[in-house]
Amino acid sequence: MRFSTFAKSIHGKKYRERGMPCQDSSDVLEFDSVQTIAVADGHGGKDYFRSDTGSRLAIKATFEQVKVFCNGISEGETFSENSIRNFEFKLWEEWQKAVKDDWIKNPVRVEEERWKNVSDKYKARYISADEQYIPVAYGTTLICAVSIGWQVLLVQIGDGSCVVLQQDGEFKVPMPPDNESFGYLTSSLCDVNGYKKFRHAVLNCEEDSPLAPVAIFLSTDGIDNCYPIGNNEKYLYKFYANTVIDSTIKNGFRLTRDSLCDKLLPYMTEHGSNDDISLAYLMTKDLNLLKRSLEKYHLQTVKQTPPQVIKQTPQVVKQTPLPAEEVQTNIAEQAAQLRKRLLPAWGEERKNKT
């Protein structure tokens, strides 16, 4: 299966206002039959004072190792558990080497803006001769998806989300749970033996399989945190289905990508999490297949909603105050409305200009 690819990172309001660079990075790599997307989220805390560089180096290390990893794969060959584990180790090792090289090339300057906010404990560690602390300064999470046509490998360390829409219309989170990431704590490439903390999943792309992916979305937690706690998945599914996929079917790939970059993702960070936001996707180029899968999703959504809840919802909303966590802006619905207003107008605008 061939996919349309997309990756974009948006500088969050909370970092812009503090004069800090974007901590997120994302990109796309395509060669031969290989298509890869990746997102990385630098930690941004005061002791991770080079995490913006760390996230960029994570994307670079990922793509370098994807080239090596996929170079020896023959037509029809499947990913083995051993080869995946080796890929994860090499990726982590390459990133560790890259950040240490960057540290040597760019030694700490006392006038460095973010260095001023580093805690005394970590300042002492960083200026010591102990190399084990250097990666902490560059700490970052990472998620990547590697498609070779007949299979897709998903790899993740740390928080963020990987969501898949299958041909049968179901949204799935295929990655095994991460017991080390909760609240503000997350596993990271900077962890000692971090390669042991990777999680992965393999998706088969047989054309006649109802479980084959038609769209794979990777996002940093800047998108997750736009939604009420405990309901991230429900809102993410709505955002991907009703905004991104629906717009792609109605308006095409290019116009939807433009809208995401110029309007929707900036709108989400501004009115949602205020955090840096990264979104990347692999989406089937077969729009008819995409449309059928979306229709199945909507049918399942209707079936899963009890009729009495639909009837009672207006009364409940009028009579019962919303819980505090649900007062957050419903970004998925607002983004959908924004898309409906803007995309048709943009289409006409572009036609007139050409």
What is the percentage of the chain residues whose pLDDT exceeds 90?
70
Element (H, E) at 40: strand 34-41
**Quick one: how many helices (H) and strands (E) in the chain?**
13, 10
pLDDT at position 23: 97
Output the average pLDDT for the chain: 86
CA dist 229 and 323 (Å) reads 11
Homologous superfamily of the 3-353 domain (CATH): PPM-type phosphatase domain (3.60.40.10)
pLDDT at position 230: 64
For residue 198, pLDDT beyond 90: yes
Provide the residue ranges of all domains of the chain, joining segments of one domain with +.
3-353
φ and ψ at residue 204, rounded to 5 degrees: -90, 140
Note whether 283 and 4 are within 8 A (CB).
Answer: yes
In this structure, which amino acid lies at residue 232?
Answer: N
CA dist 338 and 74 (Å) reads 45
pLDDT classification of 41: cutoffs 50, 70, 90: very high
Predicted model pTM: 0.86
pLDDT classification of 72: cutoffs 50, 70, 90: confident
CA dist 139 and 135 (Å) reads 6
| Cα 260 to the center of its chain, rounded Å | 14
pLDDT classification of 238: cutoffs 50, 70, 90: very high
